[in-house]
Chains A and B, each alone.
Chain A
Amino acid sequence: MADIALEPRTGRRPIREATTWDQIRANRNWLGFWFMLPAMAFLILFLAYPLGLGVWISFTDARIGRPGVFIGMENYEWLWGDSIFWLSVFNTLLYTTVASAIKFAIGLYLALLLNENMPFKAMLRALVLIPFIVPTVLSALAFWWIFDSQFSIISWSLKQMGLITDNINFLGDVAWARACVIFANIWRGVPFVAITLLAGLQTVSPSLYEAATLDGATSWQRFRFITYPLLTPIIAVVMTFSVLFTFTDFQLIWAMTRGGPVNATHLMATLSYQRAIIGGVLGEGAAISNAMIPFLLAAIMISWFGLQRRKWQQGESND
């Protein structure tokens, strides 16, 4: 019996060894890979490739209309000793830090206010969104008029009230010009912070506040020990995006000051555009753009690893 059983069956093909292709077809991991492929291709084509191209161009003397040749770190070396570039770095950091901090403070205040029960709440929420729905260039042009050196409505009003005798040189004075563009950015950015934080506040269960109130918690304690911890993930996301948007701002500055007076409001983004597109020196413009990457990465790192050191990130509950 044993001998018979061991004989090969006639009429059946021998089992062939699985090829690599068979393994790829049968393997569920590979199947996942095929599904991921379109997304990967999209990311490589539209995100990684432009970034890589930008980095490459920064190592060349490319100009508009011709690709240029590899010149190593020369563009970066020139930027290292370029006072206008460093001024743009300073301006960008100042602009981002001051505008983001004030946007957060005002946005949080508005979010807390709009989360309370009050008459006309829906209308007030809609009003808060107005700066966000006005196209950036339009609002920039409006601010350009408001801060005009000769025709500012602010100067006119103050003169009518007898508080000043001469027009305020809003966009012609370095300190004033910086303050004006930061103000315009805050005006424009507050709705994003306020509405997003308000959405976060709405997810906080009222029962927590009721319990805290019964325990005799003050309003500050309710904010400190309930609102703030539960809002932290939203704050992290909002601040990350707020910092990124502010750091890379272009339209407001370009429409209001073109980087002036005497480059006092030139941000890295506007300087990059001026050098690469207006001046035609693509390599140097790309180098300025690439110089923004470390700052942006740092901002993201601080946001994600600083504000979100919490276990729920890893799918666990908080301590």
Chain B
Amino acid sequence: MQEFTRRTLLQGGTALAAAGALTGPALLDFAKAWAQASPWKPEKGAKLTVMRWKRFVPAEDDAFNAMVAAFKAATGTEMNVFSESFEDVQPKASVAANTGQGLDLAWGLHTLPQLFPTKVLKMNDVADYLGKKYGGWTDAAAVTCKQGNDWLGIPVATIGGYMTYRKSAMEKAGFKEFPKDFPGFLELCKALKKNNTPAGMALGHASGDANGWLHWMLWGHGAYTVDKNDKVIINSPETVKALEYTKALSDTFIPGTASWNDGSNNKAFLSGELYCTANGISIYVAAKDDPTKKELTEDTYHALYPVGPIGKPTELQLTVPILAFNFTKYPNAAKAFVAFMLEKESYDKWLSGARGYLTHTLNAYDNSPVWTADPKNQVFSQASKRSLPASGIGTPGEKAATAIADFLVVDMFANYCTGRETAKGAIAIAERQLKRIYR
């Protein structure tokens, strides 16, 4: 647990100085000025306990902590910040929601606020303030956090997942640029396999990676789990086509993808076993930070997801909303902190710290320095704009969140791709599970 008190703030001077631009006096000065003019005045003696997911890019954590420290110093709000692994944030937030205590704010995966909408503090005023000031919210981010006209949380960022590939392997396979459509992508993967430089994407219970790319496959073929009225429509010719295409694709993969979790492709790519995968920017960042991987870093590139037969981007990118619980004793402090996080002076530095791992959800940040700092980051800047919400074309909410959490789409593809089920059988299982959830 990271506790920011006056003493630790002073003692942490060395660390803050080391972080340089991220934590310099400019941020503190801005925080002080902001606190004076803020629409939300933290309650006297306010103390916020914040849970977030463990960072994948260390500098992002440094930038976040600097922001917390500046907010604390400017407003006098005590801040307790602790991190949990991605998978543990939601269960722990659920316990807090159920018991009505323990946390004030939780920052987690896209489905979080929709899982317990009656337990969150409505953030309409914060969303309105930020949206007006920074060019409005991206569609997927807004849909992810809204229920009717109410904002259940604030979409802080989107973790973009795109193609990460070795350029030399792609060129050896006979491609000058990364394919932009599904047939071209399949041909590339076939050629990569032939050259013993295979592609591979998770078919296991990987919350981010597997759900991400397999929903892209499903939606790219025009198939959806439910329609806009939440009627289950998974049993369709489009789903069969999606399965057949994905089976052909998975036949080109490196063996073992059925067991992969979120970290497996990172390991395989960085060790030189894997040459093309769908992932966040973390593989590239890790390679860049490792002096022994200079060659791999230079050879690693990113590309947008190819577009399916439907003819437009159909991506599931991971929006990461922050929510405040309605039982918090300090709602103003909570709102002030969330608003402060997304102010330009704080947020740009945070995005830079995340080095492309986090993508903005407010349109005004399209030109943030991080997207031009390294040309290879640029692809990820579009994640929030190209994404559909986790519910696809259906209604966001508890049921859509449950379907994602239960890996229904992932299991359907894995059942067929591993040969456990026929296409008909795999779809029938998914359909039954969806009817169970959407009953």
State yes or no: do A and B come from one complex: yes
- Contacts of A84 on B, CB cut-off 8 Å? 411, 429, 433
- Contacts of A170 on B, CB cut-off 8 Å? 259
CA distance A262 to B257 in the complex (A): 11
Tell me if B205 and A258 are in contact (CB < 8 A).
yes
- Contacts of A258 on B, CB cut-off 8 Å? 204-205, 261
Q: Interface residue count for B (Cβ, 8 Å)?
A: 43
Q: Is the interface of A mostly helix, strand, loop or mixed?
A: loop
Q: Is B256 an interface residue (CB 8 A)?
A: yes
Evaluate whether A65 and B420 lie within 8 angstroms (CB atoms) in the complex, with A149-B255, A259-B205 already known: no
Choose one: B116, B271, B439; the contact of A63 (CB below 8 Å): B116
Q: Chain A 45-64, CB within 8 Å of chain B: the 1/0 string?
A: 00000000000000000011
- Contacts of A177 on B, CB cut-off 8 Å? 259
Q: Which residue of B lies closest to A275 (CB)?
A: B406
Contact residues, B250-294 vs A (CB, 8 A) = 254-261, 264, 267-268, 271, 273
Q: Chain B 374-414, CB within 8 Å of chain A: the 1/0 string?
A: 00000000000000000000000010011001100001001
Q: Which residue of B lies closest to A254 (CB)?
A: B87
Q: Is A260 an interface residue (CB 8 A)?
A: yes
Choose one: B115, B398, B436; the contact of A78 (CB below 8 Å): B436
Q: Which residue of A lies closest to B257 (CB)?
A: A172
Q: Is A37 an interface residue (CB 8 A)?
A: no
Tell me if B91 and A65 are in contact (CB < 8 A).
no
Minimum CB–CB distance for B110 against chain A, Å: 14
CA distance A294 to B214 in the complex (A): 38
Q: Which residue of A lies closest to B93 (CB)?
A: A64
Q: Chain B 410-439, CB within 8 Å of chain A: the 1/0 string?
A: 010011001010000000010011001101
Tell me if A262 and B414 are in contact (CB < 8 A).
yes
Q: Chain A 128-154, CB within 8 Å of chain B: the 1/0 string?
A: 000000000000000000001111000
Tell me if A260 and B254 are in contact (CB < 8 A).
no
CA distance A262 to B411 in the complex (A): 6
Tell me if A261 and B258 are in contact (CB < 8 A).
yes
- Contacts of B420 on A, CB cut-off 8 Å? 174, 262
Q: Is B98 an interface residue (CB 8 A)?
A: yes
Q: Is A297 an interface residue (CB 8 A)?
A: no
CA distance A263 to B415 in the complex (A): 9
- Contacts of B116 on A, CB cut-off 8 Å? 63-66, 280
Q: Is the interface of B mostly helix, strand, loop or mixed?
A: helix
Q: Chain A 176-208, CB within 8 Å of chain B: the 1/0 string?
A: 010000000000000000000000000000000
Evaluate whether A169 and B255 lie within 8 angstroms (CB atoms) in the complex, with A149-B260, A279-B405 already known: yes
- Contacts of A218 on B, CB cut-off 8 Å? none
Choose one: B118, B203, B405; the contact of A261 (CB below 8 Å): B203
Tell me if B432 and A82 are in contact (CB < 8 A).
yes
Q: Which residue of B lies closest to A258 (CB)?
A: B205
Choose one: B255, B256, B398, B436; the contact of A82 (CB below 8 Å): B436
Tell me if A261 and B414 are in contact (CB < 8 A).
yes
- Contacts of B97 on A, CB cut-off 8 Å? 64-65
Q: Is A290 an interface residue (CB 8 A)?
A: no
- Contacts of B439 on A, CB cut-off 8 Å? 78
Contact residues, B78-120 vs A (CB, 8 A) = 87, 90-91, 94, 97-98, 115-119
- Contacts of B205 on A, CB cut-off 8 Å? 257-260
CA distance A277 to B95 in the complex (A): 9
Centre residue among A84, A258, A278 by max chain B CB count within 10 A: A278
Tell me if A149 and B432 are in contact (CB < 8 A).
no
- Contacts of A66 on B, CB cut-off 8 Å? 116, 118
Minimum CB–CB distance for A71 against chain B, Å: 10
CA distance A274 to B374 in the complex (A): 39
Evaluate whether A260 and B204 lie within 8 angstroms (CB atoms) in the complex, with A64-B98, A82-B436, A150-B256 already known: yes
Contact residues, A279-293 vs B (CB, 8 A) = 279-281, 284
CA distance A82 to B411 in the complex (A): 14
Choose one: B258, B273, B433, B436; the contact of A172 (CB below 8 Å): B258
- Contacts of A275 on B, CB cut-off 8 Å? 406
Tell me if B255 and A151 are in contact (CB < 8 A).
no
CA distance A290 to B317 in the complex (A): 36
CA distance A63 to B114 in the complex (A): 11
CA distance A242 to B315 in the complex (A): 47
Choose one: B94, B255, B264, B273; the contact of A277 (CB below 8 Å): B94
Tell me if B268 and A150 are in contact (CB < 8 A).
yes
Choose one: A64, A167, A262, A277; the contact of B415 (CB below 8 Å): A262
A residues apposed to B, CB below 8 Å: 63-66, 78, 81-84, 148-151, 166-167, 169-174, 177, 257-263, 274-275, 277-281, 284
Q: List 29 A-B contacts (CB under 8 A).
A: A64-B97, A65-B118, A65-B119, A78-B439, A82-B433, A83-B429, A83-B432, A84-B411, A149-B255, A149-B259, A149-B260, A150-B267, A169-B258, A172-B257, A172-B258, A174-B418, A257-B204, A259-B205, A260-B204, A261-B203, A262-B258, A262-B415, A262-B418, A278-B90, A279-B401, A279-B406, A280-B94, A281-B402, A281-B437
B residues apposed to A, CB below 8 Å: 87, 90-91, 94, 97-98, 115-119, 203-205, 254-261, 264, 267-268, 271, 273, 398, 401-402, 405-406, 411, 414-415, 418, 420, 429, 432-433, 436-437, 439
For the complex of A and B, 3 pairs with smallest distance between CB atoms: A149-B256, A65-B116, A171-B259
Known pairs A257-B205, A258-B204, A281-B437; list 9 more (Cβ under 8 Å). Answer: A65-B117, A82-B432, A148-B264, A149-B256, A151-B267, A151-B271, A172-B258, A260-B205, A262-B415
